[in-house]
Every structure is written in C-alpha cells, then in structure tokens.
C-alpha cells in the first residue's frame, strides 16, 4: 500500500496575516510576525498553516485583489521573508499552504491595465469583456456578490467587463488558453519556492457561460446563503451561469497535472455554488482537486440533525474525493457567536473543535478558535470591509472575525506597538495567549491537549464514518480504520442529555483528550452540557 498523503486527516491552521502579529510597527500583521509565532503554532498540534493573501495588492479587498501574484506586498514583507518563513515552518514539521485567487485579479494588475486599453492589444481578450445592450445597459442580469451589477463600463474599449466581486476585481476569461497557462505559471512560481499546496479561492468562479445567459430569478423563500441575506440582491438569483461551468473540470485536470509534478503538494478548493456539496464531489472526483470545502458548516444553523444530514449528504455524493471541513474562517462570524446562542464558553469552544476534527476529512481551523474568541462588535466608523460598509446595518461584514490576535496583557494586547488596523475588543484582551498558556483549564490548554491526543487515534484522522440516528441534542458517529472502531458522542446543548450506547460492541472509554466528558451507567451515557465522549470497540 502506498503511504497515506500528509494532508489526509490533517488539521490546517488558517492565518489571516493582517491580524496575526505586527513586527514593524505599522499596525498591520506581517510575515515576520508569523515567523515569530511558529513555535506557538507547532505547539498547538496542527499539521499545516494556510496563509491568506500577502501578495502585492491595492488592498481594496484586503489582498484578494492581487496586482502581482508573484511578489510579496511591502505591507507584509519581502520574498526573502517568505522564504525564511517556509524554511522555519518546515523545520518545525509544519506544511505551508498559501492562498491563490485564480478567477480574478486586481484592476491594478498589469494584465488588466493592458487589456482595458483597446480591443486589439495582446491581452485584449484575457478578461471577460462584452458589448452593451442596444439601450446601453449591461449585457445580462448577473450580479456582484458585493451588491449591484457584476458589470462595469470601460470607456476606452466601449465595453463592459465582468466582476463577480468588487468592480476593482475584474474576472479573467478562462476560455482563453493563454490565461489558463499564465495562471498555472503563477502556481509553479510558488511550488518552485517550496510551498506545499494552495487554497484556491472561489475556484468554481473561473469560467462563465460563454453565451452570457441571464440567471433565473430565485423565489423569496429561497433567498439565503453565505454571508448575505435577502437584503443583498445577489440572493435574488440562481447563479447558474456566472460560475460553476462544466468547462472548469478541464481546467482542474490541467491544474492537477501541474501539481503532480511536485510530489506531496496539495490543492484545497473553496466552493460556493447552488449545490456546493455536489460541486465538491464533482471537483474532487477523478484527477482534479485533492480536497474541497464549502460553507455548509459556516452557517447559523446548529443542531445535531443539520450536521448529521450535511455530512451524510456529502458522503453519499463524494464517493472518490476527500472533504475538508471548517466551522470558522475570515469570511464568517466566529463560531462561538454563531453557534453559542449566549452560552459561549471554553468548554463549548473545545467541544466544537473536537467535533469538527472528528469528522471524516481534513480540517481548517481559524486563528483565535483556540482562544475561544467570539465575534467582535465594531461600530460603523471602525469598519474596513467594503462588504460590511455597503450593507450596514443589515449585514455588518467580515471585520468582526478579523480583529487582531490577543497575545499579552500589554498595549494592543501585544499585537502591535502602533494603533492596529482594526481595534482589539476588550473581551478579547482577557483571553490573550499569555494568560491562557499559564492556565491548565483554559480553552488554549484544552485545544492543545485535544489536538495532540487526536494524533494518537488513527481512526479519527483516516477512518470512514457512520452516524447513529440520535435524538437532539446528541450527535454521535463511529469512525473505523484498520480494525479500530471509535465512537464519538457530543451533547450540543447547554443542558443535560442522555444516550443509549450501541449494544453490538463493548465500549472502552478513550481519555486523555481533556474534554468535558460523560459518565456511564451500564449502556447509558449521562452527558452534561457540551460534553464529549470517545470510546473504542473492544
């Protein structure tokens, strides 16, 4: 049998570099800040880091609008800093995954500056350009995720260009072979430097419908989705034609061929489509992406039934691929605020980490989850996110989950000697790393204990999964690998619960994980609030 790839069952720690640690005193985190905290990250017991964009950018969307994908923005440091980070991470046994944004660039990118000049230049067709309708309006009804039409007028060409996100983020035209080759060249640049893989932002947005057909309307009852409500007109459409086109499968095969020339490298695709679970299964089947993740567990819905049904649905569809799960990231409200319902606590924080890290697949965990951070409530005048500014107050944007990491009791919680780019909430200051590291009962200490314990239970990293049909609020499932059968049980409520154990095996309690656990009376478990229980079939 071939060796199991490192990324299967791995825990990947997401770093939002702007908010991790500032070492040069400008109020913004940087690459040297990550280097300085690699020992801290390694001590968490994670396997890899994923670093959000640090490339040259005008920062209209805080790095996801890239002007030069093969250089480091001076705000974050230099290429030499990145090379040092890579070496230092590898020396600690940490793999390094970086963001790539294939579908669009910044309007400041050299490619777009050339493309927008006229209709005859060498890169004239590298972006999605279209003529106006006879009445001068955009070519179709497509909408931007950030609100309003997905088309902006360019007077120099007398045409509209497509932007699925901000107007300063024009979409590349992947129907053009030279575009695909250039994007893959960007990936090779970083692979040659030694990165271990890529998190591919909005990977299903690379292609658009070549016929530019209108998206159909969505009925009011169906107007919900990631990060937006019916207040955002984006929710008014089924997005059948502006993303997730069949041609993208061919590009994913081209991408995989590049990755295969770098053994051990991995791709993780971010997928947000009308049926994200089906798209995840399709994109990870055959010789395409190694892993995919979507936003099904990044919603406000939190109960055993929803989690069980979601994972079961993916398992039924993903017969070939490998999933990656996340319950927090830089785009959504922090999980303790989404799922805490007023009961946020270190116990619940550790339970949620254990839950997501016990599902079949790999896991992305977001910086600050280990500290039990909640969503920061920021006043309008403190907002920096264009998404939140546009939709305030119905949607407050993404700044609340992007506030700086609290490290110490010092000024600005040890994040920076200068005024931070976003304020450090007072409730986060008391949860700082220094305090929690000195407290054996803190969320951080519990997080570390669980992650190191998980590494010693192969079934939780590599096994198949089978759910028990339990009543709310109990979620229970079995993981089985190489003859090891492990039962994981979680009480998701802030009240007591009970569970009758399966009687087809004798269950031996697994401890050492440090979580709040249950008591057993015969075949019945007594589960206190937010308890977790693990056992092995004997």
Q: Which among 35, 16, 9, 11 has a CA at the least distance from the CA of 329? A: 16
- For CA atoms 8, 14, 17, 18, give the dihedral sign: positive
DSSP state of 2: P
Contacts of 190 (CB under 8 A, 6+ apart): 70, 98, 100, 198
Contacts of residues 519-527 at CB distance under 8 Å and 24 or more positions apart, as own/partner, are 524/498, 524/499, 524/500, 525/489, 525/498, 525/499, 525/500, 525/501, 526/496, 526/498, 527/474, 527/489, 527/491, 527/496, 527/497, 527/498, 527/499
Tell me the C-alpha distance between 437 and 445, whole Å. Answer: 6
**Contact criterion met (CB below 8 Å) for 338 and 302:** yes
Q: Which among 357, 421, 374 has a CA at the least distance from the CA of 30? A: 421
Q: Which among 432, 425, 379 has a CA at the least distance from the CA of 402? A: 425
Strand 519-521 with 507-510, pairing: unpaired
Q: Which among 11, 91, 7 has a CA at the least distance from the CA of 46? A: 11
Q: Tell me, yes or no, if 201 is annotated catalytic.
A: yes
Check 81, 99, 270, 315 and give the catalytic one. Answer: 270
Check 47, 81, 173, 201 and give the catalytic one. Answer: 201
Contacts of 198 (CB under 8 A, 6+ apart): 97, 98, 99, 100, 187, 190, 266, 267, 268
Radius of gyration of the chain (CA): 23
Q: Residue 8 class from Cβ within 10 Å (0-12 exposed, 13-18 middle, 19+ buried)?
A: middle
- State the virtual CA torsion across 55, 58, 64, 70 in degrees, nearest 10: -30
Tokens of 394: 């119905």
Tell me the C-alpha distance between 428 and 26, whole Å. Answer: 21
Strands (E), 358-483: 362-366, 464-467, 474-481
Q: Which residues are catalytic?
A: 201, 270
């Amino acid at each position: 049998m071939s060796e199991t790839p490192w990324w299967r069952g791995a825990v990947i720690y997401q770093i939002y570099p702007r908010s991790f640690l500032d070492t040069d005193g400008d109020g913004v985190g940087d690459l040297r800040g990550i280097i300085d905290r690699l020992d801290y990250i390694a001590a968490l017991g994670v396997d890899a880091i994923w670093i959000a964009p640090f490339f040259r950018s005008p920062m209209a969307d805080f790095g996801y609008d890239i002007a030069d994908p093969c250089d480091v923005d001076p705000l974050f440091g230099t290429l030499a800093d990145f090379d040092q980070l890579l070496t230092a991470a590898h020396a600690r046994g940490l793999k390094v995954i970086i963001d790539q944004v294939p579908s669009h660039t910044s309007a400041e990118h050299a490619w777009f500056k050339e493309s927008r000049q006229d209709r005859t230049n060498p890169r004239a067709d590298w972006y999605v350009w279209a003529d106006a309708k006879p009445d001068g309006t955009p070519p179709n009804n497509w909408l931007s995720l950030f609100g309003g039409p997905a088309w902006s007028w360019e007077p120099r060409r007398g045409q509209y260009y497509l932007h699925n996100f901000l107007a300063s983020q024009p979409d590349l035209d992947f129907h053009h072979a030279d575009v695909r080759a250039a994007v893959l060249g960007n990936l090779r640049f970083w692979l040659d430097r030694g990165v271990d893989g890529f998190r591919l932002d909005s990977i299903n947005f690379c292609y658009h419908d070549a016929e530019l057909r209108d998206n159909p309307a969505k009925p009011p009852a169906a107007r919900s989705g990631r990060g937006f409500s019916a207040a955002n007109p984006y929710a008014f459409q089924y997005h059948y034609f502006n993303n997730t086109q069949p041609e993208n499968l061919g590009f994913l095969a081209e991408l995989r061929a590049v990755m295969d020339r770098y053994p051990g490298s991995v791709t993780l695709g971010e997928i947000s489509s009308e049926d994200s679970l089906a798209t995840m299964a399709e994109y990870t089947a055959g010789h395409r992406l190694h892993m995919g993740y979507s936003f099904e567990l990044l919603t406000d819905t939190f109960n055993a039934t929803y989690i069980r049904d979601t994972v079961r649905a993916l398992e039924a569809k993903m017969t070939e691929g490998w999933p990656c799960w996340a319950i927090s990231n830089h785009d959504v409200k922090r999980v303790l605020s989404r799922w805490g319902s007023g009961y946020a606590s270190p116990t619940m924080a550790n339970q949620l980490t254990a839950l997501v890290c016990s599902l079949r697949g790999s896991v992305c965990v977001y910086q600050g989850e280990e500290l039990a951070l909640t969503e920061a409530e920021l006043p309008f005048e403190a907002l920096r996110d264009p998404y939140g500014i546009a939709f305030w107050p119905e949607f407050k944007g993404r700044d609340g989950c992007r506030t700086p990491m609290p490290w110490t009791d010092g000024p600005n919680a040890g994040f920076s000697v200068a005024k931070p780019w976003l304020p450090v909430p007072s409730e986060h200051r008391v949860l700082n790393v220094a305090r929690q590291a000195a407290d054996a009962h803190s969320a951080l200490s519990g997080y570390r204990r669980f992650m190191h314990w998980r590494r010693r239970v192969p079934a939780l990293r590599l096994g198949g999964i089978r759910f028990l049909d339990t009543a709310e609020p109990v979620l229970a499932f079995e993981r089985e690998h190489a003859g090891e059968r492990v039962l994981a049980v979680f009480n998701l409520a802030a009240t007591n619960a009970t569970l009758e154990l399966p009687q087809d095996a004798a269950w031996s309690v697994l401890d050492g994980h440090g979580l709040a656990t249950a008591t057993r009376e015969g075949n019945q478990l007594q589960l206190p609030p937010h308890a977790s229980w693990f056992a092995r079939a004997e």
